[in-house]
């Protein structure tokens, strides 16, 4: 895993002093590392199903049970006598020896968390080790305002939903009043993981009700994916399931709602000691292998696109196994398009995402992946009927990882995405791998005086590497005024797609990734898919 962050990673390893810090970290420590944990807009929404949710609870409960049996000895692991035993177990072996959810729940009554209660925010201090810590990748924003979740958002969202359900189950339990002293530390820990600033649970529903689609609840630690935010923040409220059901305008957010509902039904049947044990193990017993990308002026656009291209060669995204939920073509294309937003502040990210992806694409397709595949297939066919596609292996513009995937990949989702990448690299960038900025381009036309704005490469490009070396070449980085000018053009396109000059737009699509996105969005609108 560490080798993925060696000298070959563009946008990262080409900076002097760049490094990749890796260490095991509890989820409680991750939540407390920053006031704000930010899931970038290009990440897919929460999508775990019932099987993944059940397994997550089983893992958390096994940690609670085993830590109590072993009296919380540091280094004890679940499923083995040592941490190394745990890490060496295969997923198949873990599943075959794993008791079911009901069996573990029945055993928790005898488990005592006394003597093992340590809610430690220090990443180097955790009371016991969880098994099979999965890799998670983070990047601290340059101004230290938030932690970007490059990889690991599903685990953070599901933990948030689980501990919110535990909190409600404790507060609604018939034995709550006689156990307030026992529960206080656990409730305080849950609250501090959910919120970075104190907030009254009684007033929270009113605050959340004032939010609009895509708005951010400033008190919450975790900023989920754009389309999930309204539902997610309602689910943070006490007994928030009815609130979320009424607030949801997007049926595709039902997975977050389903997770909270499933956890609420399960925790409602637990005793106070069981709930306290589960709260502690969910936050301090489950760990991730945290990988922090540290570099001055890190180009996250390049880094993420490189991870994705590297991953498709191994049938996975970001070089990491998916927890049972496969990626679709829709996920790959969205990640590729929206990765250009990662370096911008949240206001620009949200506007770009809404105009370039959510409004024209995701709001329509929802979870109908086949519908998007059909659109992409028609889009690519319209080009391939008039444009010759070269053999990727013989074209120096196509990165090595993409060419390899094009030759060997059998997965239909990855196959279509690879076909899409081959076209982009062969026909949308010039031989230097940089966007062709010329006065003939109308993508930056000023609507007021028709004067063309010519962008100088040296002003807005970030050390994009030469083609043919397995690296990504994302669109150049624009200043904020130029981004807003481009956004205005997207808005004008959306108002009247039929008024757009298709030939000029096609030429603009060959100049940069943003131009290519603009053409794709326009095509999706005029086809009335």
Q: Which 3-state string (H, E, C) describes 59-109? A: HHHHHHHHHHHCCCCCCCECCECCHHHHHHCCHHHHHHCCCCHHHHHHHHH
What distances in angstroms separate CA 89 from CA 96, 116, 170, one per listed residue? 11, 25, 34
445 alpha carbon, distance to own chain's centre: 34
The residue among 505, 140, 520, 91 whose CA lies nearest residue 292 is 140
| Alpha carbons 185 and 165: distance in angstroms, whole number | 16
The residue among 50, 81, 49, 76 whose CA lies nearest residue 367 is 49
The residue among 19, 509, 46, 11 whose CA lies nearest residue 256 is 46
What distances in angstroms separate CA 267 from CA 104, 137, 155, 225, 231, one per listed residue? 13, 30, 18, 26, 20
DSSP 8-state symbol, 318: T
pLDDT in tens, the chain (529 residues): 333 444 466 667 666 777 878 888 889 999 999 999 998 887 888 888 888 888 888 877 776 566 555 544 333 222 222 233 333 333 444 444 454 556 655 555 544 333 334 555 554 444 444 444 567 778 887 777 889 888 888 889 999 999 999 999 999 999 998 899 889 999 999 999 999 999 999 999 999 999 988 899 999 999 998 888 999 999 999 999 998 877 665 556 788 988 999 999 989 989 998 899 889 888 988 888 888 888 776 767 677 777 776 666 654 433 444 444 567 888 888 888 887 777 777 888 888 888 888 888 888 887 678 888 888 888 888 766 666 677 888 887 787 777 877 777 677 767 888 888 887 777 765 434 434 333 333 333 333 333 333 333 333 333 333 333 334 444 445 566 767 777 788 788 888 888 888 888 877 777 667 778 888 888 888 876 6
Strands of the sheet containing 222-223, edge to edge, are: 19-26, 287-294, 134-140, 147-151, 37-38, 222-223
What is the Rg, in whole angstroms, of the alpha carbon atoms belonging to the chain?
A: 24
As a three-state string, the secondary structure of 261-295 is HHHHHHHCCCCHHHHHHHHHHHHHHCEEEEEEEEC
Q: How many residues does the chain have?
A: 529
Contact criterion met (CB below 8 Å) for 59 and 285: no
Which pLDDT tens digit goes with each residue over 456-504? 333 333 333 333 333 444 444 556 676 777 778 878 888 888 888 888 8
Contact criterion met (CB below 8 Å) for 293 and 157: no
Q: Determine what percent of the chain is predicted with pLDDT higher than 70.
A: 65
E strand or H helix at 163: helix 153-171
User: What are the tokens at 235?
Assistant: 């689910």
| Alpha carbons 125 and 112: distance in angstroms, whole number | 21
Contact criterion met (CB below 8 Å) for 71 and 113: no
E strand or H helix at 493: helix 480-495
| Alpha carbons 105 and 278: distance in angstroms, whole number | 10
What distances in angstroms separate CA 263 from CA 241, 278, 294, 356, one per listed residue? 11, 12, 36, 34
| Alpha carbons 353 and 226: distance in angstroms, whole number | 8
User: What are the tokens at 328?
Assistant: 């679709």
Percentages helix, strand, coil for the chain (3-state, rounded to 5) are: 55, 10, 40
Which pLDDT tens digit goes with each residue over 96-144? 445 455 665 555 554 433 333 455 555 444 444 444 456 777 888 777 7
């Amino acid at each position: 895993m560490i080798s993925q962050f060696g000298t070959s990673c563009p946008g990262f390893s080409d900076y002097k002093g760049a490094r990749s810090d890796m260490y095991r970290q509890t989820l409680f420590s991750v939540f407390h590392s920053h006031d704000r944990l930010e899931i970038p807009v290009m990440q897919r929404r929460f999508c775990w199903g019932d099987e993944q949710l059940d397994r997550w609870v089983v893992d958390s409960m096994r940690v609670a049970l085993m830590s109590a049996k072993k009296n919380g000895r540091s280094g004890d692991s679940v499923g083995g006598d040592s941490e190394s035993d745990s890490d060496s177990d295969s997923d198949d072996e873990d599943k075959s020896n794993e008791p079911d959810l009901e069996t573990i729940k029945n055993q928790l009554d005898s488990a005592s968390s006394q003597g093992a209660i340590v809610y430690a925010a220090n990443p180097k201090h955790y009371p016991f080790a969880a098994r099979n810590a999965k890799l998670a990748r983070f990047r601290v924003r340059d101004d230290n305002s938030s932690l970007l979740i490059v990889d690991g958002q599903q685990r953070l969202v599901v933990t948030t939903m689980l501990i919110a359900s535990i909190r409600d189950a404790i507060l609604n339990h018939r034995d709550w009043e006689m156990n307030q002293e026992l529960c206080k530390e656990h409730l305080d820990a849950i609250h501090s993981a959910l919120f970075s600033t104190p907030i009254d649970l009684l007033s929270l529903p009113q605050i959340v009700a004032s939010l609009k689609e895509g708005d951010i609840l400033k008190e919450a630690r975790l900023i989920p994916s754009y389309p999930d935010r309204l539902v997610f923040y309602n689910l943070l409220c006490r007994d928030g399931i009815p609130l979320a059901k009424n607030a949801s305008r997007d049926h595709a957010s039902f997975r977050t709602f389903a997770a909270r509902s499933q956890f609420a039904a399960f925790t409602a049947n637990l005793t106070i000691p069981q709930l306290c044990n589960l709260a502690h193990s969910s936050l301090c017993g489950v760990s991730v292998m945290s990988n922090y990308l540290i570099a001055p002026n890190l180009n996250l656009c390049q880094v993420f696109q490189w991870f994705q291209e590297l991953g498709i060669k191994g049938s996975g995204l970001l070089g990491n196994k998916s927890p049972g939920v496969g990626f679709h073509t829709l996920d790959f294309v969205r990640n590729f398009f929206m990765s250009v937003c990662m370096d911008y502040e949240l206001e620009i990210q949200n506007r770009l995402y809404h105009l370039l992806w959510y409004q024209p694409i995701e709001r329509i397709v929802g979870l109908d992946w086949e519908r998007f595949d059909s659109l992409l297939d028609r889009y690519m066919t319209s080009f391939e009927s008039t444009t010759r596609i070269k053999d990727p292996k013989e074209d120096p513009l196509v990165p090595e990882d993409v060419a390899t995937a094009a030759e060997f990949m059998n997965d239909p989702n990855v196959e279509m995405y690879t076909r899409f990448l081959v076209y982009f690299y062969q026909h949308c960038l010039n031989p230097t791998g940089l966007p062709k900025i010329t006065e003939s381009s109308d993508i930056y036309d000023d609507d007021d005086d028709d004067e063309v704005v010519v962008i100088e490469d040296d002003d807005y490009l970030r050390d994009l590497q030469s083609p043919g070396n397995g690296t990504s070449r994302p669109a150049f980085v624009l200043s904020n005024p130029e981004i807003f000018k481009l956004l205005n053009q997207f808005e004008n396109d959306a108002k009247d797609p039929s008024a757009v000059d298709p030939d000029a737009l096609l030429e603009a699509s060959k100049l940069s990734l943003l131009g290519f996105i603009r053409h794709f969005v326009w095509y999706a609108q005029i086809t009335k898919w």
